[in-house]
Amino acid sequence: MKSTLAMIIGVLVAIGLVQSTYVIDQAEQAILVQFGEPVGELVNTPGLHWKVPFIQDVRRFDKRILSWDGDITQIPTLGREFVLVDTTARWRIVDPLKFLRSVRDEAGARTRLDDLIDSVARDIISGTNLEEIIRSKDWSVDVKALGDEGVSLEQVDLNKPKKGRAVLETEMLAAASKLMPELGIELVDVRLKRINYIESVGRQVETRMISERQSIAERFRSEGQGKSSEILGEMERELRQIRSEAERKAAEIRGKADGEATKIYGETYGADPEFFTFLRTLESYQAMGANTTLVLDADSEFFRYLDSTRAR
Amino acid sequence: MSTPADRLAELLQFGPRKGRGGGGFAQSPPGRGGAKLPGGLIGFIIGALILLWLVFSSYYTVQPEGRAVVKRLGAVIAITDPGLHFKLPFGIDTVEFVATERVLKQEFGFRTLATEGERSEYSSQDFPEESLMLSGDLNIIDVEWVVQYRISDPMKYLYGMRDPTRTLRDISESVMRRVVGNRIGSEVLTTARVEIANLARDEVQEAMSKYDVGIHVVTVQLQDVIPPKAVQPAFNEVNEARQERERMINEATKRLNQEIPKASGEANRLIAEAEGYATERVNQALGETARFRSILAEYRSAPAVTRARMYIETINKILPNIGNVMVVKDGKTAPLPYFEMRRPHAPAMETPQ
């Protein structure tokens, strides 16, 4: 009987001990709540702590940075393109007391964040062109550096964005942060995680990409033809140049030789033109053949003696 | 029945209140002997279990690849290095292991299923929602990448942020989309890969450092960067067209390389021929004039005789070959009488051969 009583007392003491202590983790902070009403200071140091048993409750809050991921929402941009936007944010509980009073717990906070960040994202996305959202402030496209792979540039305007993605994110953070102090929450950042076209727009964009590629392919082909013609034309020009130059040179060489020969002949034959004519004529007679009729004067040298021997 | 059960019963009889003793905790579960003294048996079992718990909860081993964060009643008291360590038992001290030495990775757009054996197996499933993004010229592009990181500070990793890995994923996706969105699609596909990877690494690291969560981003590597499936044939067409362009240019160049040397050769031949002609012509002239000079010299020594001789010799030489010879006599009344030296040859005139 005695031991049973001791046991009961022991159990009661244990329960009392458990009820009057609590452990705060390194990652936590806590507020004591007495009959639903917060009491005392914020408990911020990890370790073992005391409380009034039974009447005080511990509400624990994470001290760390927490992440929030929004639903994927369909939002039209300023240019009336529908895009799917997925936002993500990081936040932390900076004022557990306010947090406890305004949203109670993390689940409550999440629904508030859902509403807030979604509406902020909607406001900003729908007031901005898609290029502004996709590109950033440090956008710089060197059209020339793109080379032959480049886009059909007239189709897309490649202007630098006025704000750009990072600035829009900052604006979203600023807009969403306005209401946060009341909730005891600090928004660390808000980021656009994913932005994609809705399916029907996506298909249109793909069609546009296809036609863009095809026009580039077409350009390559005609470039090939053009270059080829250019090379062949250049070849033709060069061929003509080579040939005509050779012909000219050959004619020059021949002419010079002819001239030299003429000079040699002239100088030599000029010594006795009469004899040259005589000799040359004799030589040309030798070319006479069977179908030539030679008319000789009977008084000629050849017949002179023949004649004189004839008796008259 | 069994020997251990008998021995247990014996033990319980001799020391009924020694349940807290540690000697017998390795024994088999109690058999029928337990029915005799239930209180003692329960005490013994509880004692054994408590001892087991004490033993197993008072040490821990840190693997070489990591470090351990030791908490006493929720508060961090130490960070320990690899090896065997002791701690307070019964959950007073708790330990969390963090793999600080290992390079961890997050995959985007694909998943490695297993890396056993010689090659990795990849999931055949795609994750288009992770990998599809828009480039700066508002085209769709499919980018797969890997973020490799290391936990540089276990304390910050555990207590700076809840679920830092998820944040790392979110930030990686956000950063990659920003970087890709700041480029023309064709650049992303070709030349800008390395630059994009480096920029993404720096920006992810910057974000992680801002949160101060003890993550060091080792590297960001782009894997497959491709246009969306429907557009791929068109991209191939561009490649083919480029090949075709090169081919046409090469063919033209080939023809050029064939024709020009040939023409040059021909031109050289033409010139060489002309030069040959020139030499020939001059030599001919020199030869002929030399001959003329020799004859002239002889002729001058006896002009009349030589002249007559040459004339007669020539007539002699040509007369046998000549078709008809007419001899005309001057001073006779017209018509001029003549004789034909070779009458039989006359018809030959009509049929010139």
pLDDT digits (tens, 9 = 90+) for A141-177: 766 666 555 555 555 667 788 888 889 999 999 999 9
* CB contact (8 A) between residue A45 and residue B286: no
Q: What tokens does A225 get?
A: 């033809």
> How close are the terminal C-alpha atoms of chain A, in Å?
205
Interface ipTM = 0.75
pLDDT in tens, A223-256: 999 999 999 999 999 999 999 999 999 999 999 9
pLDDT surpasses 90 at B318: no
A203: tokens are: 């298909």
> Which is nearest to B227 in space by CA: B189, B184, B173?
B189
Cβ contact A293–B311 (<8 Å): no
Between CA B46 and CA B39 the distance in angstroms is 11
Residue of chain B minimizing CA distance to A91:
B161
Instruction: Say which residue the tokens 């003549």 belong to.
Output: B338
Q: How many CB atoms lie within 10 A of CB B318?
A: 18
Report CB contact under 8 Å: A261, B284: yes
Stretch A270-298: mean pLDDT, rounded?
Answer: 79
Chain B nearest CA to A216, separation (Å): 7
**Closest Cβ opposite residue B238 in set A66, A216, A256:** A216
E strands, chain A, are 21-24, 28-34, 37-43, 47-50, 56-62, 66-69, 73-76, 82-93, 185-197, 293-297
Contact residues, chain A, for B184 at CB < 8 Å: 141, 146, 150-151, 158
d(CA B188, CA B175): 15
Residue among B182, B213, B282, B350 with most chain A CBs within 10 A, to mutate:
B182
Q: What is the mean pLDDT of residues A32-43?
A: 84
Residues 208-247 of B with CB under 8 A from A: 210-211, 213, 227-228, 230-231, 233-235, 237-238, 240-242, 244-247
Mean pLDDT of A59-63: 89
Interface probe, candidates B203, B245, B288, chain A, greatest A C-beta count within 10 A: B245
The mean pLDDT of B267-290, rounded to a whole number, is: 92
What pLDDT, on a 0 to 100 scale, did the predictor assign at position B216? 93
- The predicted pLDDT at position A244 comes to 93
CB pairs under 8 A between A and B: 347
Write out pLDDT tens, residues B293-316. 888 888 888 888 888 888 888 888
Cβ contacts of B185-188, under 8 Å, gap ≥ 24: B185/A151, B185/A209, B185/B135, B185/B136, B185/B137, B185/B139, B185/B141, B185/B227, B186/A146, B186/A149, B186/A150, B186/A151, B187/A146, B188/B135, B188/B141, B188/B143, B188/B225
The Cα of A260 is separated from the nearest Cα of chain B by a number of Å equal to 7
Q: In this model, does residue B173 exceed pLDDT 90?
A: yes
Compute φ and ψ for A57, nearest 5 degrees: -110, 150
Strand partners, B110: none
